[in-house]
Amino acid sequence: MRFGVVVFPGSNCDMDCYWAVKEVLGEDCEYVWYQEKDISDFDCIILPGGFSYGDYLRAGAIAKTSPIIEALRDFVKDKSKLVIGICNGFQILLEAGFLPGAMLRNKGLKFVCEYVDVVVENNETPFTCLCEEGEVLSIPIAHMEGNYFADDSTLRSLIENRQVVFRYHGFNPNGSVYDIAGICNETGNVLGMMPHPERCCEAILGGEDGLKIFRSIVAYHGGKVEA
């Protein structure tokens, strides 16, 4: 399976994502510059965390105008192609309209950086197929604008269509509506999540729960996943 990790000006989790996929999973992985217009050779594109374009205007608001985003619009038309946006990547997916809703400043207006528990609401996605529904994962967060918001009709649609993939469990660190930590699009091949799975793929770093997400992607694509 071939992964591409997009690098925007200001990305700072691109190397972490690359390491998780290339060195921990052992899958083919390349960096993809934000000006790239052809990503058809990849199976999964990762939009990593960081501060693309310095988070000017709003987090992800400038990054959404990058050539790579236009390439993604054609990419996701093929339901076998996957996109995962992590933290700033989630913000970009929202700004670009790949996912519904918007991000607000955290409740309390403070940057939060800590491990949180998230519950798997839907294990029938390419990103959670190796998880159990209701399983609780411990994954770190690090963000200032992670307070997910959607109006009542959008939220109702997300819930009814099972597009809510992850919810904060135990406590909500940022005030997001319905405790949402991650959602997918209607076809299920685009996921946005605020927690950073790439930061907890090795026991030496404090946990391996994030690895389940990357392993799920590989398993969904038909690859062999080691226990």
Instruction: Tell me if residue 160 is catalytic.
Output: no
Distant-in-sequence, close-in-space partners of 17: CB < 8 Å, separation ≥ 6: 5, 46, 48, 86, 198
Catalytic, out of 13, 17, 143, 196: 196
64 alpha-carbon distance from chain centroid? 15
184 alpha-carbon distance from chain centroid? 9
Q: Which long-range contacts (CB under 8 A, 24 or more apart) does 50-53 make?
A: 50/8, 50/10, 50/11, 50/12, 50/13, 50/14, 50/87, 50/88, 51/10, 51/11, 51/12, 51/88, 52/8, 52/9, 52/10, 52/11, 52/88, 52/92, 53/8, 53/9, 53/10
Instruction: Tell me if residue 198 is catalytic.
Output: yes
Catalytic, out of 87, 131, 184, 200: 87
Catalytic, out of 145, 198, 200, 201: 198
Q: What is the DSSP letter of 201?
A: S
Instruction: Tell me if residue 135 is catalytic.
Output: no
The residues annotated with a catalytic role in the active site are 87, 196, 198
